[in-house]
Structure 1
Amino acid sequence: MSRQRSMKVIENSEYVTIGELVRLSNVRYSTLKYYTEEGMLPFEQAEENLTRRYKREQSISQIQKIKALRQEGKSISEIKAALKIDFF
């Protein structure tokens, strides 16, 4: 089992793991995994060990957008539609 990186290292990294995103965003692992599986949270696949890597700044911004839309009472399908508009 690998050691956790410090928050200082995580906050300065271009890419983070889903576990590190949990620490940065205070959103549950299962929620972030769901967002990833639904295509709401983009990631890159590291070939050497098949680890999903998330761009830290982009992912935090995306999570904040999702949280704001959820607070407005939007459904998952409405959030997905709103996020697709942001991608273009």
Structure 2
Amino acid sequence: MIENSPYVTIGELVRLTGMRYSTLKFYTEEGMLEFEQAEENLTRRYKRVDTIQRIHYIKTLRAEGKTVPQIKDILSQTK
């Protein structure tokens, strides 16, 4: 069901990507992951496909030794 939904929560992203909740929350707060906020319950919803691809790209950049500021700069150039 989740794999077919266009949007997922941060908890679902944890399960789908294997990343820690705190890491994904940090990336969100740093503006590295875009989200939409549902007004009725203030839940952050992430575009499933785009966000998973972006997380994998961030993982690749981290594996290459890039710092968070460097990654933020790279991501801002690819928008």
TM-score (norm 2): 0.99
Aligned-residue offset at 1:35: 0.2
Q: 1:62 aligns with which of 30, 54, 76?
A: 54
- Map 1:71-86; keep pairs closer than 5 Å: 71-86=63-78
Consecutive unaligned residues in structure 2, runs of 5 or more = none
Consecutive unaligned residues in structure 1, runs of 5 or more = 1-8
Task: Please report the RMSD computed on the Cα atoms of aligned residues, expressed in angstroms.
Answer: 0.4
Aligned-residue offset at 1:62: 0.6
Helix, strand or coil: the match of 2:45?
A: strand
Whichever of the two has the greater Rg, that structure is: 1
Aligned-residue offset at 1:64: 0.6
List structure 1 runs of 4+ shifted beyond 4 angstroms. none
Q: Which has the higher contact order (CA 8 A, sep 6+)?
A: 2
Post-superposition Cα deviations, 1:37-83, rounded to whole Å, max 9, x if no partner, equal 00000000001110000000010011011000000000000000000
Map of 1:41 onto structure 2: 33
